[in-house]
Amino acid sequence: MIVLFTDFGLEGPYTGQVKAVLHRTAPDVPVIDLFSDAPAGRPKPAAYLLAAYGDWFPPGTVFLAVIDPGVGGPRAPVIVEAKGRWYVGPDNGLFELVRRRAESARVWGILWRPKTMSESFHGRDLFAPVAGQLARGDYPTHKPRAFEISRYDDWPDDLLEIVYVDRYGNAMTGLRGNLLSTDARLAVSGRVLEHARTFSDVPAGEAFWYENSNGLVEIAVNAGRAANALQLEIGSPVAVLR
Amino acid sequence: MIVLFTDFGLEGPYTGQVKAVLHRTAPDVPVIDLFSDAPAGRPKPAAYLLAAYGDWFPPGTVFLAVIDPGVGGPRAPVIVEAKGRWYVGPDNGLFELVRRRAESARVWGILWRPKTMSESFHGRDLFAPVAGQLARGDYPTHKPRAFEISRYDDWPDDLLEIVYVDRYGNAMTGLRGNLLSTDARLAVSGRVLEHARTFSDVPAGEAFWYENSNGLVEIAVNAGRAANALQLEIGSPVAVLR
Amino acid sequence: MIVLFTDFGLEGPYTGQVKAVLHRTAPDVPVIDLFSDAPAGRPKPAAYLLAAYGDWFPPGTVFLAVIDPGVGGPRAPVIVEAKGRWYVGPDNGLFELVRRRAESARVWGILWRPKTMSESFHGRDLFAPVAGQLARGDYPTHKPRAFEISRYDDWPDDLLEIVYVDRYGNAMTGLRGNLLSTDARLAVSGRVLEHARTFSDVPAGEAFWYENSNGLVEIAVNAGRAANALQLEIGSPVAVLR
């Protein structure tokens, strides 16, 4: 299975062209849109989101993960293998948490270049063919190249910021829920929020935090939009009170 | 064929994870996105929309229909068979019109539970595996359980409200068009609208009502956005004048 | 491969129903969403966009291209074959540039009508079955009908207007990049823009023009939204200064 994690959107031409390339390269492999609205141009919050959601998929999954504000510049294209899953995309921090949370991860630089490659759409021209080849099992076994991926050691293990706002207005943080006890409280936008198991456990209109279905601490309002009520956006800080 | 009717959106992680589960459960069954922007958290207008659009698909279709504001609470998960089509989702009124408009409908409670189930995403963890099993033909034949689905007898047979606004700004009502003669007039937002066959039959900018391609009375403006021009949103009332 | 080029959106019911028809008609043919947010109801800018993006796909591709403000009116349904690619949709100018840029194009009128056809959704009822038949190789070989497609001779070969704004706020023009030298400057919204190879070649916040990954001149801002910064929308004029 090939899983797409991008900021390309679905309605414009970008994801469609990527899928056309994947179909040509690996015609029998199903392609799943996981995020097409991952944090646009922001590899840091995207890295925490990818690490949380990647783990839900079975080993062997190939992720085409492209948040790539430096496309056309010097950043390298890489393949990362972590916990049996494969990640293809730019070397800009996007794979920092996936790599760091694996007991041992392997990294290859992508030296292959297509015959024609646009300056601005490596997702289609470079990363998609490589992801398709990987999904077919062809690569990088044949041409492994050791590569020193860039390190972002100053990034924390968990990010106390909003990393994604979903269509209901729920605001995901970069903090893993299993690190908090249920009596922890969260300070956000000058408010203090208590834990609840899920939406239906609090009155309508009430804000709370809970561990979402992929293990991230998420800020929500029952029958409401937390991001609007609490003025949250990607990058907004949260703090844990115990 | 499995048809998705949800408020999950396509760009975030929800529909993608549902499709990953469906692919694992029923790999050869095509999955169609019908609505991923059905009325968010509002089973009542969604019920009229589902009844109108469900009938367009052939018997044997499995609908994964999840508008589920009470997820994690006491509402039961159900399977409804109506006119040869299968519907999987929460018992919260979403299937009231599908059931009521069938000569005879069958209902089962879903007693199966996955080994791990999140509190907030039964669409992925509970409903998708069941829909996949149904689409394979495995369920509920093996384990039928009679179930008394909740009744919403006070809901009308046709809903004189807006139930959906599409991307062009056209506003669908919960009223079936074949119940109206073409000389009926519709009162909405203090205006009275006449019938037209379709957009190109009225001057640009003119508001009218017509029977849409799935049989619902819809309010539209030729070359314009009816929802903006007439300030319509889900729940806005309409009245029929004869 | 069947490629969709429409203004139908993905989240509402339109694209889903089209795909259900395509699946029924041509079950083994992959379907790719290229644009589902092409210029809504505006065949002219859409025609330049389609011509630029169509050429990226291999010969034999079938395009279901529906920007159809006159649906239900007298405009004819057509099939165009140009450079080995097949285009199915309304005769309203949408295929003017595809046809004009081919050495020789063939056009057929679609005389076939389905048993039941809605007044407002020919994309589903008429064009999708024909596109599916074409993708199977069945049509129009069996029933060719010469057809005089409408001509739009007053439309220029390249359109000096914005034809699409993508999700990043980049604004595509209807002008082919290979017609400009890299020292050409573009006047737009009272500003004069220089060429850059790609985003990472200019400072953050700076506006520039470049040739995008499908050959169109595009106006962009590094790490910013050009459409917002320069107040661009579909139809905004651009001028070339040399």
Q: Which of A33, A63, A165 to mutate to test the interface with B (most CBs of B within 10 A)?
A: A33
Q: List the single residue in A8, A16, A72 with the smallest CB-CB distance to C34.
A: A16
Q: Which of A120, A121, A125, A126 to mutate to test the interface with C (most CBs of C within 10 A)?
A: A120
Q: What whole-number distance in Å separates Cα of residue A20 and Cα of residue A121?
A: 14
Q: Quick one: pLDDT at residue B141?
A: 59
Q: Quick one: pLDDT at residue A76?
A: 95
Is the Cβ pair C30, A23 closer than 8 Å?
yes
**Is residue A3 less than 8 Å (CB to CB) from chain B?**
yes
Q: Is the peptide bond before B144 cis (omega within 30 degrees of 0)?
A: no
- Report whether pLDDT(A144) > 70: no
**Is residue B73 less than 8 Å (CB to CB) from chain A?**
yes
DSSP C119: S
- Report whether pLDDT(B144) > 70: no
Q: What whole-number distance in Å separates Cα of residue C180 and Cα of residue B142?
A: 68
User: What Cα–Cα distance (Å) separates residue C64 from each residue in A37, C7, C140?
Assistant: 26, 11, 15
- Report whether pLDDT(B241) > 80: yes
- 3-state secondary structure (DSSP) of residue B78: strand
Closest C-alpha among C27, A63, A61 to residue B23: A61
Q: pLDDT-derived band of residue C137, with 50, 70 and 90 as boundaries?
A: confident
Q: List the single residue in A15, A19, A40 with the smallest CB-CB distance to C168.
A: A40
Place of tokens 């599409």: B166
Q: Quick one: pLDDT at residue C142?
A: 57
**Is residue C13 less than 8 Å (CB to CB) from chain B?**
yes
Among chain B residues, the shortest Cα distance to A168 is held by B40
Beta carbons within 8 Å of C85's beta carbon, 6+ residues apart:
C54, C57, C59, C60, C61, C62, C63, C98
Quote the percentage of chain C above a pLDDT of 90: 92
Is the Cβ pair B119, A223 closer than 8 Å?
no
Quote the percentage of chain C above a pLDDT of 70: 97
What's the rounded mean pLDDT across residues C183-187? 97
Q: List the single residue in B33, B199, B210 with the smallest CB-CB distance to C10.
A: B33
- 3-state secondary structure (DSSP) of residue B50: helix
Please, are residues B101 and B128 in contact by the beta-carbon 8 Å criterion? no
Is the Cβ pair C120, B10 closer than 8 Å?
no
DSSP B140: T
What's the rounded mean pLDDT across residues B15-41? 97
Q: What whole-number distance in Å separates Cα of residue B20 and Cα of residue A2?
A: 10
User: What Cα–Cα distance (Å) separates residue A9 from each residue in A67, A119, C209, C219, C227?
Assistant: 12, 19, 22, 19, 17
Q: pLDDT-derived band of residue A146, with 50, 70 and 90 as boundaries?
A: confident
CA–CA min distance B160, chain A (Å): 24
Could you report the per-residue pLDDT of B68-107, keeping only the tens digit for each? 999 989 999 999 999 999 999 999 999 999 999 999 899 9
Q: pLDDT-derived band of residue A141, with 50, 70 and 90 as boundaries?
A: low
Q: List the single residue in C34, C213, C223 with the smallest CB-CB distance to A118.
A: C213
Sign of the torsion angle spanned by Cα atoms B23, B26, B31, B33: negative
Chain A residue numbers touching B72 (CB-CB < 8 A): 197-201
What's the rounded mean pLDDT across residues B132-160? 86
The first and second tokens of residue A69, run together, are 């504000």
- Report whether pLDDT(B142) > 70: no
- 3-state secondary structure (DSSP) of residue C143: coil
Q: Subunits with at least 3 CB pairs below 8 A relative to chain C?
A: A, B
Q: Would you give the distance in Å from CA C180 to the centre of its chain?
A: 22
What's the rounded mean pLDDT across residues A35-55? 98
Q: pLDDT-derived band of residue C143, with 50, 70 and 90 as boundaries?
A: low
Is the Cβ pair C56, A9 closer than 8 Å?
no
Q: List the single residue in B11, B40, B69 with the smallest CB-CB distance to A9.
A: B11
CA–CA min distance B86, chain A (Å): 24
3-state secondary structure chain A: CEEEEECCCCCCHHHHHHHHHHHHHCCCCCEEEEECCCCCCCHHHHHHHHHHHHCCCCCCCEEEEECCCCCCCCCCEEEEEECCEEEEEECCCCCHHHHHCCCCEEEEECCCCCCCCCCCCHHHHHHHHHHHHHHHCCCCCCCCCECCCCCCCCCCCCEEEEEEECCCCCEEEEEEHHHCCCCCEEEECCEEECECCCHHHCCCCCEEEEECCCCEEEEEECCCCHHHHCCCCCCCECEEEC
CA dihedral C169, C174, C177, C180 (to 10 degrees): -120
Please, are residues B81 and B140 in contact by the beta-carbon 8 Å criterion? no
Q: Which of C29, C53, C168 to mutate to test the interface with A (most CBs of A within 10 A)?
A: C168
Burial environment of residue C148 by CB neighbours within 10 A (0 to 12, 13 to 18, 19 or more): exposed
Is the Cβ pair C32, A19 closer than 8 Å?
yes
Q: Quick one: pLDDT at residue C242?
A: 77
Please, are residues B149 and B80 in contact by the beta-carbon 8 Å criterion? yes
The first and second tokens of residue B7, run together, are 């408020």
Chain B residue numbers touching C124 (CB-CB < 8 A): 213
Beta bridge partners of A220: A208
Is the Cβ pair A35, B11 closer than 8 Å?
yes
Could you report the per-residue pLDDT of A49-97, keeping only the tens digit for each? 999 999 999 999 999 999 999 998 999 999 999 999 999 999 999 999 9
Beta bridge partners of A85: A82
Q: List the single residue in B13, B71, B124 with the smallest CB-CB distance to A34.
A: B13
Q: Quick one: pLDDT at residue C151?
A: 96
What's the rounded mean pLDDT across residues C213-242? 97
Among chain B residues, the shortest Cα distance to C13 is held by B34
Q: Enter the ipTM.
A: 0.96
Q: Subunits with at least 3 CB pairs below 8 A relative to chain A?
A: B, C
Quote the percentage of chain A above a pLDDT of 70: 97
**Is residue B30 less than 8 Å (CB to CB) from chain A?**
no
Q: List the single residue in A10, A198, A210 with the smallest CB-CB distance to B10.
A: A10
Beta bridge partners of A109: A78
Segment among B204-213, C104-113, C181-190 with least mean pLDDT: C104-113
Q: pLDDT-derived band of residue A140, with 50, 70 and 90 as boundaries?
A: low
Q: List the single residue in A34, A53, A212 with the smallest CB-CB distance to B120.
A: A212
Q: What whole-number distance in Å separates Cα of residue C186 and Cα of residue A20?
A: 32
Instruction: Find the helix or strand (DSSP H, E) in which B114 lies.
Output: none
Q: pLDDT-derived band of residue B242, with 50, 70 and 90 as boundaries?
A: confident
Segment among A160-169, B49-58, B146-155 with least mean pLDDT: B146-155
CA–CA min distance C9, chain A (Å): 7
For chain C positions 140-169, those within 8 Å of chain B (CB to CB) are none
Q: How many helices, marked H, and strands, marked E, lie in chain B?
A: 6, 13
The first and second tokens of residue C154, run together, are 């007053």
Q: Quick one: pLDDT at residue C138?
A: 80
The first and second tokens of residue B186, run together, are 């519709």
Is the Cβ pair C11, B37 closer than 8 Å?
yes
The first and second tokens of residue B39, run together, are 């009325």
Q: Quick one: pLDDT at residue C147?
A: 86
Is the Cβ pair B3, C16 closer than 8 Å?
yes
The first and second tokens of residue C149, run together, are 């497609």
User: What Cα–Cα distance (Å) separates residue A116 from each residue in A96, A138, C53, C170, C198?
Assistant: 29, 21, 16, 23, 16
CA dihedral B120, B125, B131, B134 (to 10 degrees): -140
Angle between helices C13-25 and C128-136 (to 10 degrees): 30
**Is residue A117 less than 8 Å (CB to CB) from chain C?**
no
Among chain B residues, the shortest Cα distance to C36 is held by B167
Q: pLDDT-derived band of residue C146, with 50, 70 and 90 as boundaries?
A: confident
Place of tokens 């004189």: B160
pTM of the model: 0.97
CA–CA min distance A15, chain C (Å): 8
Backbone angles phi, psi at A135, to 5 degrees: -65, -25
**Is residue B53 less than 8 Å (CB to CB) from chain C?**
yes
Angle (CA) B225-B231-B235 rounded to 5° is 110
